[in-house]
Amino acid sequence: MSHHPRVRCKALHSKIMSAEEAAALIQPGVNVGMSGFTGAGYPKAVPVALAKRIMDANLAGQKFKIGVWTGASTAPELDGALAMVDGIELRLPYQSDPVSRKKINAGDMEYLDIHLSHVAQSVRNGFYGKLDVALIEVTAIREDGALVPSSSVGNNLTWIESASHIILEVNSWQNAQLEGMHDIFKDQDVPNRVPIPLSNPSDRIGEHTIRCPIDKVIAIVETNSPDRNTAFSPPDASSKKIAEHILDFLDFEVKKGRIPPSLLPLQSGVGNIANAVLTGLNKGPFENLTSYTEVIQDGMIDLMKSGKLRMASATAFSLSPEAQEDLNAHMGEYRTRIILRPQEISNHPGIIRRLGCLSMNGMIEADIYGNVNSTHVMGTKIQNGIGGSGDFARNAFISFFMTPSTAKGGAISCIVPMVSHVDHTEHDTHVIVTEQGLADLRGLSPKKRAQQVIEKCAHPDYKGPLREYYRRALELSPGKQTPHLLEECFGWHTRFLRTGSMRT
């Protein structure tokens, strides 16, 4: 019997080596496409070994940086380790690591924040330069060399196809029963594209595995490590109120006949507020739900267990240790109700439009006219990135953006006169929700929107100042389509930067 039960392709046994040996195959200046999406399915050994190699090079006075391309965010063992040793020249398309964030905002790391549905096509067509190495975690390698993906799919298909060399991490911690959960479909490239034949979240249109040209494989590293599993906070009072407002709204829309009683495929961003909405749905009246989303988090697993959620389509998991345990214990059953797809498909604008998703995403701040900042604190410091929120919000049947009305103990109003960075424009936001209430902006001119956003969503402490700004803007603004006072529209932000509070 083989000592490498997960490496079922015998021809590849000769490539099995240590993480250090594999890391030695990665040269300075290359671009590496790594697996990983919201802390799931990222390579766990080679990036750390590579970081140590880079550290040694740095100590020897040599420059050693690489380009790191992933699905989305990863974990400390990847982003954290490589950022710590200043090993990343350019990072794309998304990250959420605290060390990387610090380096980026200090100006020490280049970061490119991209719609997640755009990455694969841009890489395949060489928009970002040459991809040298693919470094991918898999659950197993089949007899024919095909790869059983891990707990995320992300851009792995594109990395495998586009890279000159492939390094695989075979993680035996990942449940072998993941085999069969994935649906690997490759969109054609222009000018040869045809309609993607997906009309329901539950449609399977591809293969279970990623075909791999085994002659490109230069190293295989065996690992046995869990994904970084972040625990979710239990919903706080504010998240519960936001969830209530959304549930009431959905109820109203169903009664109006604008959405069916089983709703429409749910897209839910990552985080505690999104999780609270899912928890709310679990107590709500809606049955036979589906999701077409990026990430499956705890609330979705709970909805599946209760039977409310019929099936879920995503590109990755993002589970607490408890939910992960539950998933692993019942993988055979979940496998029939969960599909993981390439992010080019999970986030595809045409499919999101076709399915008519209900899109629910967090944000940093919204302004009175419905523009949304998802990425930059005070306009200049990147928090994480736009991720898939643009793919979904622009094409959703109804797009919700959610935030508590204040941050930093009330020192920041998340409803401001003008957002300090725009990721989602006034043309893209249907509904703004805070714990204070819900503003339905559909069909409203900017001025009508301003009244709704201020009266429904702003915190009472900031309602007066917002009304006053709007009143003065309406009076003094040169144009009255979108009244603004450009001299003072960022006054709240600059006050916060000076005094630590937006309050006067």
Nearer to a copy of itself, 317 or 397 (CB): 397
Choosing from 77, 97, 113, 169, the residue that interacts with a copy of itself (CB under 8 A) is: 113
Q: How far is the CB of 384 from a copy of itself (least distance, A)?
A: 11
Long-range CB pairs of 88-94, under 8 A, 24+ apart, other chains included: 89/29, 89/65, 91/67, 92/67, 92/68, 92/119, 92/128, 93/69, 93/118, 93/119, 93/385, 94/70, 94/384, 94/385, 94/386, 94/387
What residues between 426 and 455 interact with a copy of itself by CB under 8 A? 426-428, 442-445, 447-448
Applying CB under 8 A, which part among 49-57, 121-129, 174-182, 406-414 lies near a copy of itself? Answer: 121-129
Residue 355 is a binding residue for a copy of itself (CB under 8 A):
yes
Closest approach of a copy of itself to the CB of residue 262, in Å: 8
Q: Does 341 contact a copy of itself by CB under 8 A? A: no
61 versus 257: smaller Cβ distance to a copy of itself: 257
- Shortest distance (Å) from residue 415 CB to a copy of itself: 17
- Which member of 422, 451, 455, 463 binds a copy of itself (CB under 8 A)? 422
Site string (227-266) toward a copy of itself, x via CB under 8 A: -----------------------------xxxxx---x--
From start to end of 126-164, where are the E strands? 133-141, 147-149
The answer to whether 121 and 189 have CB atoms below 8 angstroms apart is yes
The whole-angstrom separation of Cα 60 and Cα 46 is 21
What is the distance between the alpha carbons of residues 198 and 351, in angstroms, rounded to a whole number? 7
Nearer to a copy of itself by Cβ, of 408 and 448: the residue is 448
Binding to a copy of itself (CB under 8 A) within 181-210 occurs at 190-191, 193-199
Residue 157: CB atoms within 10 A of its CB come to: 28
Task: Single out the segment in contact with a copy of itself by CB under 8 A; choices: 14-22, 232-240, 242-250, 343-351.
Answer: 343-351
Residues from 141 through 170 that contact a copy of itself (CB under 8 A): none
Least CB distance to a copy of itself at residue 346 (A):
15
- Touching a copy of itself, residues 452-481 (CB under 8 A): 474, 477-481
Our answer to whether residue 110 is catalytic in this structure is: no
CB 385 within 8 A of CB 113: yes
Binders of a copy of itself in range 53-82 (CB under 8 A) = none
Helix (H, G, I), strand (E, B) or coil at 271: coil
**Alpha-carbon gap, residue 381 to 412, rounded angstroms:** 15
Options 126, 226, 234, 321; binder of a copy of itself; rule CB under 8 A: 126
Residue 342 Cα distances to 76, 176, 283, angstroms: 23, 19, 31
**How many angstroms separate the CA atoms of 114 and 152, rounded?**
19
349 binds a copy of itself (CB under 8 A): yes
DSSP assignment of 380-427 = TEE-S--TTHHHHHHH-SEEEEE--SEEGGGTEESEESS-SS-SB-TT
Smallest gap from Cβ 256 to a copy of itself, in A, equals: 7
Q: Fill in the DSSP letter of residue 215.
A: G
Q: Which of 294, 344, 365, 435 is catalytic?
A: 294
Asked if 329 is part of the footprint of a copy of itself (rule: CB under 8 A), the reply reads no
8 Å CB contact between 184 and 159: no
Q: Determine if 90 is a binding residue for a copy of itself (CB under 8 A).
A: yes
Interface pattern 272-311 for a copy of itself (x via CB under 8 A): ----------------------------------------
Burial label for 67, CB within 10 Å (0-12, 13-18, 19+), is: buried
> What letters, b where the CB count within 10 A reaches 16 and e where it falls short, cover 420-437?
bbbbbeeebbbbbbbbbb
Q: What are phi and psi of 53, to 5 degrees?
A: -65, -40
**Interface residue with a copy of itself, options 143, 409, 487, 504 (CB under 8 A):** 487
Residues 392-421 that bind a copy of itself (CB under 8 A): 394-395, 397, 420-421
Position among 331, 356, 463, 467 found at the interface with a copy of itself (CB under 8 A): 356
69 phi/psi in degrees, rounded to 5: -115, 135
Residue 359 touches a copy of itself, criterion: CB under 8 A: no
Residues in the interface with a copy of itself (CB under 8 A) total: 86
- Whose Cβ is closer to a copy of itself: residue 178's or residue 414's? 414
- Report the residue number, 15 or 449, with the smaller CB distance to a copy of itself: 449
Tell me the Ramachandran region of residue 45: left when phi exceeds 0, alpha when psi lies from -120 to 50, beta otherwise.
Answer: alpha
Tokens of 247: 């549930």
Structure token pair of residue 365: 């701040």
Nearest approach in angstroms of CB 447 to a copy of itself is: 7
Q: How far is the CB of 106 from a copy of itself (least distance, A)?
A: 6
Q: Which residues are catalytic?
A: 294
